[in-house]
Amino acid sequence: MGEVHLIWLIDADPPSEAGGGKGFYPASASTAPPDATLMRTRLETIHDVAVAETGGRAVVTLHTSPRYRSDFFQGPYPAIWRRLVAAGLALALHPHEERANGTTFYDDEKHLRQVIAASLQRARAAQIPLAAFRSGSFSFHPALPAILAEAGIGLDLSAGPGLFDKRRSIDWPAAAAEPDFFSRKGLPVLEVPLGWDGENAELDRNYLFNERTDLAGLIRVLDAISARGAARGRPELVNFLAHGFGIADPTWRRQAIAFLRHAEARGVRLLSAQEALRLHGPAPTPARPLPA
Ligand SMILES: [Zn+2]
């Protein structure tokens, strides 16, 4: 079987009354801050599970959005984020930039630049280290790798190979599953895509998405990734996506842990953000041509 390198990505979005992150604009039903007790419990559970199960090898998202622009940079959160980082986890800036009409600001480079700059400023002021980036709901903009590199962020976890929704600025070709998808283009950021079986683009079936499938489904997708790695003769590098609400839920948490144990038992190498950058970091020289 082929070698697989895995990053455990935990998206810690706050609850939203509208599915798919569509409640993260100001014109939603409520502008109250997220429930701090619920969020604290989720983040503490993520900390405890990651420490116990992976030695702290996980990347957790720090949510920002038109609705919750600065909530997670203040109040009880900076201390919680620092505790996660001290345990070995890395934090990914996670802008959910939805508009009320269902489109997203990922079509607006100026907006993205402003959000990222302002978020990094808030993070610095609160002494929260951000090492990675994950876009909201797989949206992206071609200028993002350069913006992230300028901001000193070398790791991106936005890609969902095969996903396409032009209205929401989602356009990930199958080639996004290749470990050097960005570096081959000379882009200065390491892209680690959501694990994908390469067949269809159903989030409920074809990806390493904890809360959308069952354990047998996750293992089937991992088998396909491993077979691809064997065929290519090089390690596959993918992420396994779970969510804060899932890690707080006993059933989904058990499944995520069972999957990680299964992966470990068959030789999958779980990487921290730092280890991934060390092993796979963006090439400083133009990428080599693919073998014929
Ligand atoms: Zn999210």
Q: How far is the CA of 94 from the centre of ligand 1 (A)?
A: 7
| pTM flag (> 0.85) | yes
Q: How far is the CA of 175 from the centre of ligand 1 (A)?
A: 23
Structure tokens at 21: 């992150």
Report yes or no: 198 and 154 within 8 Å, Cβ to Cβ.
no
Q: How far is the CA of 184 from the centre of ligand 1 (A)?
A: 27
- Domain spanning 4-280, CATH architecture: Alpha-Beta Barrel (3.20)
Structure tokens at 247: 């890690």
CA 149 to chain centre: 17
Q: How far is the CA of 21 from the centre of ligand 1 (A)?
A: 7
Q: How far is the CA of 23 from the centre of ligand 1 (A)?
A: 11
Report yes or no: 33 and 68 within 8 Å, Cβ to Cβ.
yes
Distance from the first to the final alpha carbon of the chain: 23
Q: What is the pLDDT of residue 16?
A: 85
Give one word for 214, left, alpha or beta, with left for phi > 0 and alpha for psi -120 to 50.
Answer: beta
* Sign, Cα dihedral of 11, 46, 58, 54: negative
Q: How far is the CA of 11 from the centre of ligand 1 (A)?
A: 5
Cα→Cα distances 248→19, 95, 230, Å: 18, 22, 35
Written as tens digits, the pLDDT of the chain (292 aa) is 789 999 999 999 999 877 766 778 875 556 788 999 999 999 999 999 999 999 999 999 999 999 999 999 999 999 999 999 999 999 999 999 999 888 999 999 999 999 999 999 999 999 999 999 999 999 999 999 999 999 999 999 999 999 999 999 999 999 999 988 998 888 889 999 999 999 999 999 999 999 999 999 999 999 999 999 999 898 999 999 999 999 999 999 999 999 999 999 999 999 999 999 999 987 543 333 433 3
Closest CA to 130 of 157, 159, 156, 153: 153
Q: What is the pLDDT of residue 281?
A: 84
Ligand 1 ion: nearby residues, β-carbon < 5 Å: 11, 13
Q: How far is the CA of 112 from the centre of ligand 1 (A)?
A: 16
